[in-house]
Chains A and B, each alone.
Chain A
Amino acid sequence: MSRENSRGLRRIALEIVHSLRSFFGTFGAGQIFFLRILVNIPYALARPRLIIKQVYVTGVQSLVVIMLAGFFVGMVLALQSFLTLSRFGAEDSIGMVAALGLVRELGPVVTALLFAGRAGTALSSEIGLMRATDQLSGMEMMAVDPIKRVIVPRFLGGVIAMPILAAIFSAMGIFGAWLEGVVILGVDEGAFWSQMQAQVDLRDDVMSGVIKSVFFGIAASLLAVFEGYNSAPTAEGVGRATTRAVVHTSLTVLILNFMLTAWLLGGK
């Protein structure tokens, strides 16, 4: 009996060691991959057309999704805060509530999550398919470094597109909050904007949102290209890599969001 037990414990311990090893192995591989991307950025900048194409693919093609999402998030923020604040007769400040919520948190975070779903999946499945159909090996054979030619432009495109998308999301959200609050619920327009302007700070709120979205852009793009590049060269492997990219990006963004808010931006 005790022998059975100890064997079971041994297996569990081995499992834990194995999963820890694979976790830190992936983590380290990701860091090396990131360094390889950073080193190769100058080469990619010499071909700006590739980057522009990727900004188009990741940014412009996500635009409709981002704008719609931002619009409705802003509207629901205004509606919810109106229901609560009107109890205290403070419904004038819904503009402030919506703007602070959007600019500081929801703008960067929801944009990053949608970005992971819309652009990140496209990136990792595209690169994964390139791997599965030996296009990457073909490039290597022609002495073209796939990191320079394929990975870095896609990474940079995502990094450039993400803050722009987040800013558009926040602006659309505030427009949605204005539409819901002022036009539909009848909050005074002057109070809506003046309360917002009095409470939203350029450096503490708007800039911290922009900084966040830059970090999220780096994280989302890096994870998407990393998972795609390291996918197993089969149909199943590409599918798995795509799923992993979305899940890991979402979790990373949420964790990173807390860390950035607590330690970098609002810790006073």
Chain B
Amino acid sequence: MQQIRAVELGTGLFVFMGILALFFLTTRVTSFDSYSGEGGYELTARFDQVGTLKTRSPVSISGVQIGRVTAIDFDVDRLEAVVTMRIASRYRIPNDSDASILTSGILGGQYIGLQPGGAEEVFQDGDEIAFTQSAVVLEQLISKYLFGQSGGGE
């Protein structure tokens, strides 16, 4: 009997330690973000060029993350990329805000930055962001600079 008690006690402690370790891994090691879940509302935006934007890339306003990109698709009719993002419901954003694809740091990943507008009304679920600015592709930037310079010099 004593033996069995020790086994049960040890196993119980072991499983408890495992749960504690998992709890540590989920709370302390990862950021427990609320905007990856099902809550919030969805917005879409059309871009000519999305660069290296990916699903689960952050959406931020004034540098504060408020949501994530949930899908990137290509509209065959209008020949544009359609980006769907999910915003946490407590952030109400004026519906004339504009979206641009920006890069964090020099080598960082790309994200969507929202620039708040001045309208009274706010975005509702399923709305489309009308004003967008595409991602800057480095090669295009360089070639524009090079050819622009040589053209201006002549």
* CB proximity to B under 8 Å, residues A50-95: 52-53, 55-56, 59-60, 63
Instruction: Indicate if the CB atoms of A52 and B11 lie closer than 8 Å.
Output: yes
Give the dominant DSSP class at A's interface.
Answer: helix
Shortest beta-carbon distance from A3 to chain B in Å: 65
Asked, given contacts A52-B7, A171-B24, A203-B36, whether A164 binds B29 with beta carbons under 8 Å apart, the answer is: no
Contact of A205 among B14, B20, B30, B36 (CB under 8 A): B30
The answer to whether A167 touches B22, judged by C-beta atoms less than 8 angstroms apart, is yes
Q: Within the assembled complex, what's the spacing in Å between the Cα atoms of A119 and B91?
A: 51
Q: Which of A60, A170, A171, A172 contacts B14 (CB under 8 A)?
A: A60
Known: A197-B31, A203-B36, A206-B30. A171 touches B25 (CB 8 A): yes
B28 within 8 A of A: yes
B interface residues, tally (CB under 8 Å): 24
A238 contacts the other chain (CB 8 A): no
Q: What are the residues of chain A within 8 A of B21 when measuring CB–CB? A: 164, 167-168, 170-172
Contact with B along A181-217 (1 / 0, CB 8 A): 0000000000001001110111111100010000000
Q: Is the CB of B7 within 8 A of A56?
A: yes
Contacts of B31 in A (CB 8 A): 197-198, 200
> Among the interface residues A165, A168, A170, A205, which one has the most CB atoms of the partner chain B within 10 A?
A168
Which residues of B have CB within 8 Å of A172?
21
Q: Which residues of B contact A204 (CB under 8 A)?
A: 56
Q: Are B25 and A103 in contact (CB under 8 A)?
A: yes
> Which bucket holds chain A's interface residue count?
20 to 34
Chain B residue numbers with a CB within 8 Å of A197 are 28-31
Check A219 for interface membership: any CB of B closer than 8 A: no
Which chain B residues lie closer than 8 Å to A116 at the CB level?
none
A residues in contact (CB < 8 Å) with B = 49, 52-53, 55-56, 59-60, 63, 99, 103, 161, 163-165, 167-168, 170-172, 174, 193, 196-198, 200-206, 210, 268
22 cross-chain CB contacts under 8 A: A52-B7, A52-B11, A55-B15, A56-B11, A56-B14, A99-B29, A161-B14, A163-B18, A164-B21, A167-B22, A171-B20, A171-B24, A171-B25, A174-B29, A193-B28, A197-B28, A201-B30, A202-B36, A204-B56, A205-B30, A210-B22, A268-B54
Q: Interface of B with A (CB < 8 Å)?
A: 4, 7-8, 10-11, 13-15, 17-18, 20-22, 24-26, 28-32, 36, 54, 56
